[in-house]
Structures are given as structure tokens and as C-alpha cells.
Amino acid sequence: MGEEVILLDFWPSMFRMRVRIALAEKGVKYEYRDEDLLKGGKSRYLLQVNPAHKKIPVLIHNGKPISKSSIIVQYINEVWNDKAPLLPSNPYERAQARVWTDYIDKKVYDAGRKLWTTTGEEQEAAKKDFFEIFKTLEGQLGGEPYFGEENLGYVDVYLIPYYCWFHAYETMANISMEGECPKLVAWAKRCAQKKSVSESLVDEKKISGFVLK
Amino acid sequence: MAEELKLYGTWVSPFSRRVELALKLKGIPYEYIEEDLHNKSPDLIKYNPIHQKVPVLVHNGKPIVESLVILEYIDETWKNNPILPQDPYQRALARFWAKFIEEKILPLAMKVTNSEEKEKEKVVVEMFQLMKVLEGELNGKDFFGGESIGYVDIVATIIAVWFQVTQEVIGVKIVSEEKFPVLFKWIEKLKSIDVVKECIPPRDKHITYVKARIEAALLKSAPN
């Protein structure tokens, strides 16, 4: 069966890293097109396929576009269901995984941003908030190697792109991720040992450079 | 083992009523517990310690939170009368539209209610744009789910019912028949379904409630 899979995205997007990891885990071949949205170079194709949302990444499978990383990752999991299941088969555990990715969506990005957009007392409050969130996530790991227990799962794929932002967070806010959340950092390093992850993560120095611009 | 299914919700929360709608559509028996959010029950705090919000569905003692997650859980556990499409691409689209409503339309609707007069107009124009996009998705169908209501319709009841009430109270019309004829028709069809009627707050009580909330908010923000 001829499959055409195209991924439209822009390199520092941590959301797209999730999609790349999921595709790699499933061994799906795809074509990658870089859309530099910051340069205002939104391609006609992007607007055509994604008029409602205007956000990247967009996966195009056999001409059908899908956007939003949570939706794309679940789609990839359902279509290429022959290997590396990313979601548990049990509905209750699946629900828990979705609750945690929802939590990550709502909390982590904004908490991270506040670390470099605030100063003084506000920044101290932001740091407290930030670590509360990461410690909550760390608590969810329990004693397992991954959020997906034995293997990389939906929550791991969802959270791990933030690993390349740790260096930026630490630099901008003078904090230590390992100091506060050692188990989480250990988890991140464990994930990064997987080829699907290491090949999809952006170099952390590039991210710091991008943030400092 | 006997199934034990409990739903913690409130009569006026669109999020808990949508879960009720899904359960009723599938004919699943459940025990409903009405929560007073000013006086939360120990059960609610136990089952949803992080957010302490409704709805919470407790199935055989195990809690599930977040209405969209609960809807998917219900669909995956009780497979009769499916509310999500079977095809992965159609499912992805349904999830997209549900998120579009939750993450784009709802926050903007709140802004319409809460913004100052001069900002209101700008926000209303933005709302019109989003609603047009959503309306486009109906595309000749009776419902977002096709011939019968599905996941997106269930999620969108907030627009069909709750928006209408708030708009009546604050005097801002978003979904008018002239501007959104297709969406308007969908709202009429949706509200005529018996099981949907059972999951909507009584109109007068709802209007009184919204009026009181808006007045309370105004008092809070009024200069001393």
C-alpha cells in the first residue's frame, strides 16, 4: 500500500518533537517539510490544510491533514497499531494517560515561560509553581522506568520534548532541575537513550540560544 | 461483580451535563450525586484532589476526571451506540473539533462576558470568526456526528444551550439565525431530542443563576 506521510513543522517547536518521536517509535517513513512560521512564511499549503487552527505541526497522511500534537500522536497510535503501542489497552489507564497529557498541556509551557518573563518576587513565585508541577509529574512515575511503565508511552512522548528546554530554564531562572526533581531528570535521560527520542529532540543549546534572542 | 457507577456533578455545569448525556445515550445506569461547589463533599476531594472540580466519574471505585477524557472512557468501556467515529481519521477530526470548542471558543466566550464595553466589540468579532469556522464543519449534515448526535454535538451543547442563556442575560447575540443559519438549525434539532432535553438546566433557573453570577462578579470588580 502506498503511503504518503508528510510532516509540516518548524524546528524549535517542542510539540512537533512529540510527533517525530511517535512516528519513529512506529517505524513510519515520512517526508518532512520545514515551515518557518516566524519569518511569516506560512505556506499556502499550510493555510489550505489547516485554516481553522493555523498552528503547527500538521501531519498529512495520504492527503488528509491532522493538527494538534495530542490528536496526531493518538492518530499515529491507532493507524500504525502493529507495534510500539503508545497508549495502554485498558480504558481506565488510557483515561489516566489522557488526563496527564491534558495536565501537561495546560500547565508546563506557561509555567516554563514565566521563568524568563518574570523577575524578582514574581519569578520566585513562578519557580515555586514550576517545581510544584514537575514534582506532581515526578510523583506519577512511581517506581516505573517510564510513565508508560515498561516502555515509552503517550505521556512520555508528550513530556520528553521539554527535556531540551531544561537547560534554558536553568539558565534563565538560576534553578537546578536535577536538584529539585532527580527522578524526573533520570527519567528524561533514560528516554533520551532511545533512538526515537535522541533523534527527535532539538539540541538544548539551540533552544537556549533561541530563547535568549 | 456488580457495576458501580457514580457521577459527581452540578445541575448547571455544562461539563457534567455532557457526561450525563453520554451515559443516557448509551442507556448506562448510574448514581448521580449533586455537588455544592461552595461546600465540596469529602468524596469529591478524595476523587479529584488536584482540581476538586466536577464532573468526576467513579467506576467501580476508580475516578476519571476531565469531561472530554470521561466521554472517551465511556465510549471505550460501553461500546453500544458509539459516540466517536470508528475510523481513525474521522476520530481525529472529532477530537480536533472538540478541542477547538474547548480551547478556542470557550475562553473567548468568557472574554465576551467579562470584557469592558470597548473591548467587547473586538472580542465579539473574533467570536463570529470562530463560530463561522465551526458552522462550516456541519457542511450539510444534521449533526456534527452525521445523522445522529456524536462526540462533537455532545461537547457543543455548551454552545447550543449555555451560550444562549448567557447571551440573553448580557444582551449580546452571537448565534443569531441571520448570521449563522446552519448552526441555528442544528441548535433547534439538538434541543428537540428528548435525551438532550433531560440534560439541560431548566431555563428560568439557569437564567436566574447566570444573572446572579454576573452581578456578583460586577460587585467584586467595582471600585470602592
Q: pLDDT tens digit string along B66-119? A: 999 999 999 999 999 999 999 999 999 999 999 999 998 999 998 888 888 888
Average the pLDDT over A166-188 and give the result.
Answer: 92
Query: Which distant-in-sequence residues (6+ apart) come within 8 Å of A211 by Cβ?
Result: A116, A168, A172
B58: closest CA of chain A, how far (Å): 11
pLDDT confidence of residue B220: 78
How far apart are alpha carbons B8 and B16 in whole angstroms?
8
Confidence grade of residue B1 (pLDDT, cut at 50, 70, 90):
very low
Residues of chain A contacting B65 with CB distance shorter than 8 Å: 99
- Residue A79 pLDDT exceeds 80: yes
pLDDT confidence of residue B183: 95
Residues of chain A contacting B89 with CB distance shorter than 8 Å: 61, 64, 66, 75
Residues of chain A contacting B155 with CB distance shorter than 8 Å: none
Q: Chain A: residue nearest B131 by CA?
A: A52
- CB of B73 closer than 8 Å to CB of A92: yes
- Residue B61 pLDDT exceeds 70: yes
Query: Which distant-in-sequence residues (6+ apart) come within 8 Å of A78 by Cβ?
Result: B88, B91
How far apart are alpha carbons B178 and A204 in whole angstroms?
52
pLDDT higher at B115 or B52: B52
Range with the lowest mean pLDDT among A34-38, B40-44, B77-81, B198-202?
A34-38
> What letters, b where the CB count within 10 A reaches 16 and e where it falls short, cover A41-61?
eeeeebeebbeebeebbbbbb
pLDDT confidence of residue A47: 52
Query: Which distant-in-sequence residues (6+ apart) come within 8 Å of B221 by Cβ?
Result: none
Closest by Cα among A179, A184, A98 to A134:
A184
Are the beta carbons of A71 and B89 separated by less than 8 Å? no
Are the beta carbons of B77 and A91 separated by less than 8 Å? yes
Are the beta carbons of A75 and B99 separated by less than 8 Å? no
Are the beta carbons of B96 and A66 separated by less than 8 Å? yes
**B210, HSE (Cβ side, Cα atoms, 13 Å):** 24
Are the beta carbons of A94 and B73 separated by less than 8 Å? yes
Instruction: Give the B-side interface with A, CB within 8 Å.
Output: 50, 59, 62, 64-66, 68-70, 72-73, 76-77, 88-89, 91-93, 95-96, 99-100, 133
Cell of A118: 518574570
Query: Which distant-in-sequence residues (6+ apart) come within 8 Å of A41 by Cβ?
Result: A35
pLDDT higher at A155 or A43: A155
**B178, HSE (Cβ side, Cα atoms, 13 Å):** 1
How far apart are alpha carbons B13 and B215 in whole angstroms?
19
Torsion sign over Cα B190, A65, A92, A134: negative
Neighbours of B16 (CB within 10 A): 25
Rg, chain A, Cα only = 17
pLDDT confidence of residue A2: 59
Angle between helices A120-141 and A182-192 (to 10 degrees): 70
Cell of B64: 476519571
- CB of A71 closer than 8 Å to CB of B99: yes
Average the pLDDT over B129-137 and give the result.
Answer: 90
Neighbours of B130 (CB within 10 A): 17
When CB atoms are compared, the residue of A61, A68, A99 closest to B66 is: A99
pLDDT confidence of residue B218: 80
Average the pLDDT over A7-16 and give the result.
Answer: 65
pLDDT confidence of residue A41: 47
Average the pLDDT over B124-134 and give the result.
Answer: 90
Confidence grade of residue A34 (pLDDT, cut at 50, 70, 90):
low
Interchain CB contact of A68 with B (< 8 Å): yes
Angle between helices A166-173 and A204-212 (to 10 degrees): 40
Confidence grade of residue A38 (pLDDT, cut at 50, 70, 90):
very low
Average the pLDDT over B119-146 and give the result.
Answer: 90
When CB atoms are compared, the residue of A67, A78, A94 closest to B88 is: A78
Convert the pLDDT of each residue in B2-20 to its tens digit: 689 999 999 999 999 999 9
Strand order in the sheet with B56-59: B31-34, B5-9, B56-59, B62-65
pLDDT confidence of residue A3: 75
How far apart are alpha carbons A157 and A101 in whole angstroms?
9
Interface of A with B in 118-147 (CB under 8 A): 136
What is the pTM (predicted TM-score) of this model?
0.90
How far apart are alpha carbons B15 and B65 in whole angstroms?
11
How far apart are alpha carbons A55 and A69 in whole angstroms?
10
Average the pLDDT over A103-121 and give the result.
Answer: 88
Cell of B97: 473539533
Query: Which distant-in-sequence residues (6+ apart) come within 8 Å of B182 by Cβ?
Result: B135, B138
Range with the lowest mean pLDDT among A33-37, A84-88, A201-205, B80-84?
A33-37
- Residue A39 pLDDT exceeds 50: no
Average the pLDDT over A123-145 and give the result.
Answer: 93
A107: closest CA of chain B, how far (Å): 12
Which of B19, B26, B89 is the mutation pick for testing A, counting most A CBs within 10 A? B89
High-pLDDT (> 90) share of chain A, %: 52
Residues of chain B contacting A103 with CB distance shorter than 8 Å: 50
Q: Which long-range contacts (CB under 8 A, 24 or more apart) does A206-211 make?
A: A206/A11, A206/A12, A207/A12, A207/A164, A207/A165, A207/A167, A207/A168, A208/A167, A208/A168, A208/A171, A210/A12, A211/A116, A211/A168, A211/A172
